[in-house]
């Protein structure tokens, strides 16, 4: 009798409380009400990308986490259900076994393809003059150029200012082809950016020359470089 009571007590506790799991990040679908370490890591990733602005991260998937997930999904053209399944994990940059597909991951191929589209599209506008506040091929400022190229090449809408783009990008130690490189110019913080082409070169719209290619080692830009970020698409 005691064994039966004990078993029922344990079963009741399991059903009454959210499941706590130690699975690797991306290995399970996360949704409202869950409580585990994966939720905390999810919040940290969302916070790094500028979506989780609640301050303190916890292990509980509540309304603030769901809203952050929905905002991220909306920005990445995913189903805005607030559930972190395979597609959302992939967009976040984690590819655990939550995916039900048996096909090998093609994320690196997709990234390479996207980078090529980005660069080829950007190069079409080489020579376009610089215009403060410009957002079209009749004249670009640096962020206007990036937004236009991302939209045309990948269908991705970037924030309007370099400072805001810097906030949503994911930091990388060394830029890869297609990543964005940022510089501090006329004010503190990120105020200029371009698309990294590889071989120490980047494509951007500068106030002196308009859209063109510049060496990262250039004496002006090398002193003002503050880092590289990757935009997930």
Same domain, 62 and 157: no
CATH number of the domain where residue 156 is located: 3.90.1720.10
Contact residues for 199 (Cβ-Cβ < 8 A; gap 6+):
none
Is 101 a domain residue? no
Same domain, 125 and 197: yes
Q: Which helix (H) or strand (E) holds 229?
A: strand 225-230
Same domain, 67 and 37: yes
Global pTM value: 0.55
Alpha-carbon gap, residue 116 to 153, rounded angstroms = 9
As beta bridge partners, residue 158 has: none
Q: Given 115, 142, 158, 165, which residue is catalytic?
A: 142
Query: pLDDT (tens digit, 0 to 9) for every residue of the chain, 233 residues total?
Result: 444 444 444 344 333 333 333 344 455 788 888 888 788 888 888 888 888 877 688 888 888 889 888 888 888 888 888 888 888 887 887 533 333 333 333 333 335 778 899 999 999 999 999 999 999 999 999 999 999 999 999 999 999 999 999 998 889 989 999 999 999 998 889 999 999 999 999 999 999 999 999 999 999 999 999 999 998 77
Active site residue 39: no
With left for phi above 0 and alpha for psi between -120 and 50, is residue 37 left, alpha or beta?
Answer: alpha
Contact residues for 180 (Cβ-Cβ < 8 A; gap 6+):
146, 165, 169, 193, 194, 195, 196, 228, 229, 230, 231
Is 76 a domain residue? yes
Active site residue 42: no
Is 98 a domain residue? no
Same domain, 66 and 173: no
What is the domain range of residue 217?
Answer: 107-230
Same domain, 121 and 225: yes
Is 99 a domain residue? no
Active site residue 161: no
Q: Given 204, 206, 210, 232, which residue is catalytic?
A: 204
Same domain, 218 and 118: yes
């Amino acid at each position: 009798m005691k064994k039966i009571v004990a078993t029922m007590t344990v079963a009741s506790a399991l059903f009454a409380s959210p499941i706590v799991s130690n699975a690797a990040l991306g290995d399970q679908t996360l949704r409202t009400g869950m409580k585990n370490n994966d939720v905390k890591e999810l919040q940290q990733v969302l916070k790094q990308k500028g979506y989780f602005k609640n301050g303190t991260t916890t292990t509980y998937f509540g309304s603030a986490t769901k809203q952050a997930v929905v905002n991220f999904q909306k920005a990445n053209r995913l189903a805005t259900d607030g559930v972190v399944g395979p597609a959302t994990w992939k967009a976040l940059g984690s590819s655990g076994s939550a995916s039900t597909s048996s096909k090998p991951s093609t994320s690196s191929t997709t990234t390479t393809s996207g980078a090529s589209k980005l660069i080829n599209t950007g190069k079409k506008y080489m020579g376009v003059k610089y215009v403060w506040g410009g957002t079209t091929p009749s004249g670009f400022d640096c962020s206007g150029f990036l937004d236009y190229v991302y939209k045309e090449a990948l269908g991705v809408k970037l924030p309007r200012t370099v400072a805001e783009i810097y906030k949503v990008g994911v930091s990388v130690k060394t830029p890869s082809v297609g990543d964005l490189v940022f510089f501090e110019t006329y004010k503190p913080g990120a105020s200029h950016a371009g698309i990294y082409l590889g071989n120490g070169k980047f494509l951007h719209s500068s106030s002196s020359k308009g859209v063109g290619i510049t060496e990262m080692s250039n004496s002006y830009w090398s002193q003002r470089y503050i880092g590289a970020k990757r935009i997930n698409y």
